[in-house]
Structure 1
Amino acid sequence: MRRIALLFLLFCYGCTAPDLEKINGVSFVASREPADLEHIAALRSVHAGYAAVMPFGFIREMGSPEIIFDTERQWFGETRQGARQYIDLLHKNGIRVMLKPQLWIWRGIFTGELEMTSEEDWKRLEWQYADFILTYAELAEATGVGLFCIGTELETFVKHRPAYWKWLIRNVRERYSGKLTYAANWDEYKRISFWQDLDLIGIDAYFPLSEARNPGVAELRAGWGRWKAEIEALQQTVDRPVLFTEFGYRSMDYTAKKPWLVDRNEEAVNLEAQANAKEALFEEFWSEDWFAGGFVWKWFIHHSRAGGPGDNRFTPQNKPAEGVIRDYFQKH
């Protein structure tokens, strides 16, 4: 009898342990105008199976609890109408969607530092943020989106109001039946208290890997060693797949030293370093069965005008890194 039970367990393990289907995604940047088939063709050319659609809410200054969203003053793609148009077009062309509403604080102040100075303002922020997120959770349900992100890089907000975030997750689930994640910054994700309330551990994967000007793939893979071990340890503890809700590198010298930099520094263009960093990340993670995939940061809808050999920004478009993405997405 014990032998039969053991054979049954082995059989079931063999049936249920295949690798997760990878989320081969790109972050589809909101534009001033609707998307069309030409914009989707470029996504399909790199074999992207997913796109992150990112409507925005705006905060005028640090410490303000007011969130402005879905207004006529925003770009089309940042609004509810625009997000719906993008989602519908992507779905019609066989590309699945993660809806990822995000906040922007005036002058680009880091959202992880968003903090109120009074209990009254914290409560006001909570209701404002709930209105923002639940509006888009309802859109996600109405459009059949498969994955919804409840927040992006909001460490101080999460730290100070843990009970609120659990309440918010419950309320999102009342309106939305798909899978949920949260996009934690690379130095935040281990302190999130609600991973087990979600379906995936979301990480914006801007981990420092090398201080070299032009690191090779082997050096970059070695740089992942510590970080990968820590990510996997959390994954085993929480028992949720890991999703890189954002990953990317600028096409410039020292790209892996501080990959999170979004300033206008004028480091020399280095297309090879960007391509090497992408390849190292794919080599380290895409074969892991606990890893769900991720979303390249970032992809502009006007492909022919984006990136190019003289650009040192994040987009891989019209650069060697685009070819690396195409190759790995095609394989997986």
Structure 2
Amino acid sequence: MTWGWTGVRGTWATEAAAESMRLMADHGVNWTALAYSALQDTAQSTEVRFREAPTVTDDEIVWAIREARSLGLKVCLKPVVNVADGTWRAHIGFFDQDVPGEPTWDEWFASYREFLLDAARIAEAEACEMLCIGCEMVRADAREAEWRALIADIRAVYSGIVTYNCDKYQEDRLTWWDAVDVITSSGYYPIDSWSEQLDRIERVVVDSGKPFFFMEAGCPSREGSPDRPNDWALPGGPSGAEQLRYYEAMFAACDERPWMRGFMLWDWPPHLYSASDADSNDDYCPYGKPAGAYLRDAYRRRAGGA
């Protein structure tokens, strides 16, 4: 399960955050992706401002790692870049060839590298099992040379598992999967398309010889969301039944694929709503909802070998 998004300074390393993580672990979770973001001003800015608020501090990140460890969880550290003006990070991009006076990919990757190496050093010092080096960077995915260079720099300071979280429908488009240890993606697929999408992903898994899991997957508890699970702003009333229907279909489809290693479900906030408010909550978190009970049972059955 993913915990902590978006990593707002002051929301980690609190009693509420500790209780939130404890309740997450109680759902049979054995891995967590500790996800936090740093901002750049626009999709064409080249400075990733990871030392500034609202990004969590290094001390807060270390607190979250150690808190997860105390609960018996394995940790994937997941630093993510976001755009301050609300543009989705998939649209971060620059000219293919440098033009004088215009921002460049080299400038952006230099700043992004500082952000990722900071995370890599923390992950190494705290013995995190995995580091995710990017999330849904669709326009940047084509910059193969830059990603390979970044991965080499990360491996010089971090000795654990390295992965990259590509966006949905992009699994068969990346050309540098061989540079990471595990293939992961955001599996926000419409409820009726799981078989088709898993067939496509299976070809990537077989060709690469790499393990695969969904670094993100899930569905809001909202009417209509099973058909558009990636749309966090889709209009519709709260519906725990719809979220449960999606979870059941997703788990059933993935259970049929022996190469599927699991999920890092989206998501669990650092400040959790009360159980009494679960019926009116229409976000991705399954706490207090039918999908939460289903998830707890499913994860515990798997842990017990059932």
Q: How does the TM-score come out when normalised to structure 2?
A: 0.90
3-state SS, counterpart of residue 156 of structure 2: helix
Instruction: State the Cα distance separating 1:35 from its structure 2 match.
Output: 4.2
Question: Could you say which structure has the larger radius of gyration?
Answer: 1
Aligned equivalent of 1:170, options 125, 136, 152? 152
1:300 aligns with 2:247: no
3-state SS, counterpart of residue 201 of structure 2: helix
Instruction: State the Cα distance separating 1:60 from its structure 2 match.
Output: 0.7
Instruction: State the Cα distance separating 1:309 from its structure 2 match.
Output: 0.5
Structure 2 runs not aligned, ≥5 long: none
Distance (whole Å) between structure 2 residues aligned to residue 237 and residue 35 of structure 1: 45
Deviations 1:114-141 (A, max 9, x none): 1124625221101001111111011100
1:271 aligns with 2:240: yes
| 2:131 paired residue number | 148
Deviations 1:195-236 (A, max 9, x none): 1111111110011234xxxxxxxxxxxx31111111111100
Q: How does the TM-score come out when normalised to structure 1?
A: 0.83
Deviations 1:149-190 (A, max 9, x none): 01001111121x210101111111111111111011112221
Deviations 1:44-74 (A, max 9, x none): 2101111111132101112111110122x22
| 2:199 paired residue number | 229
1:92 aligns with 2:70: yes
Instruction: State the Cα distance separating 1:253 from its structure 2 match.
Output: 1.6
Distance (whole Å) between structure 1 residues aligned to residue 70 and residue 227 of structure 2: 40
Amino acid at match of 1:185: D
1:27 aligns with 2:3: yes
* Bigger mean CA offset, 128-137 vs 109-118: 109-118
| 2:282 paired residue number | 312
Question: Is 2:168–2:185's contact at 8 Å kept on the other side of the alignment?
Answer: yes
Equivalent residue runs for 1:18-97 within 5 Å: 25-29=1-5, 30=7, 32-36=11-15, 37-71=18-52, 73-74=53-54, 78-97=56-75
Instruction: State the Cα distance separating 1:286 from its structure 2 match.
Output: 4.0
CA RMSD, aligned part only?
1.8
Instruction: State the Cα distance separating 1:269 from its structure 2 match.
Output: 1.7
Report % sequence identity: 23
Aligned equivalent of 1:105, options 68, 79, 83? 83
Structure with greater helix share of residues: 1
Structure 1 runs not aligned, ≥5 long: 1-24, 211-222
3-state SS, counterpart of residue 202 of structure 2: helix
Distance (whole Å) between structure 1 residues aligned to residue 255 and residue 215 of structure 2: 14
Instruction: State the Cα distance separating 1:287 from its structure 2 match.
Output: 5.7
Instruction: State the Cα distance separating 1:39 from its structure 2 match.
Output: 2.8
Amino acid at match of 2:154: V
Distance (whole Å) between structure 1 residues aligned to residue 128 and residue 258 of structure 2: 23
